[in-house]
Structure 1
């Protein structure tokens, strides 16, 4: 197996940064409220292009939620520990509103026309 060695000047990201970027998408987008008209328009186009990654984030959160739901069910049914299963059910439930926000952002970036 080949080991990736960073080239000179290439920045190595910490595991926590990679984990954050795996689950949260804010780093992909630019602020459309800064700069002059041309810079804001370029930021909007950039954000519309980056919206193609949002379904990937939705899938990640969906699988994460299903995984934690399954863990909660295992803990509740097999280990007979309903109080401890809450530790797994809560992250599972939180994946639903996160997916709703990601879906709203994706639909908004796809349907809202570019600002002038």
Structure 2
């Protein structure tokens, strides 16, 4: 039976994974991201981030969400998670709500389950 990594280690691993992905995204698709009339999300350099122009009408409902999740938001999330990486905490003990949320986000980034 494998043991779940320590919460602090999970948050650090998520920070590392997010930082690598963010570095790539900022290089290729700098913020801000905006939706064009062609049902496309474009980065500040006009590169296409998401394209729903060939899809059925109505299949573009995720474009506002995709545009919102640009590297600027990822950077803010990274800074917040990184600020918590030095905190050691025990999942079995009462913990601050902020740490529970950080751990939940880290697990989403890592694709792991508690």
Q: TM-score range by the shorter chain?
A: 0.3 to 0.5
Relative to the length of structure 2, the TM-score reads 0.36
1 or 2, which has the higher helix percentage? 1
Higher relative contact order (CA 8 A, sep 6+): 2
Larger Rg: 1
**Which structure is higher in strand share?**
2
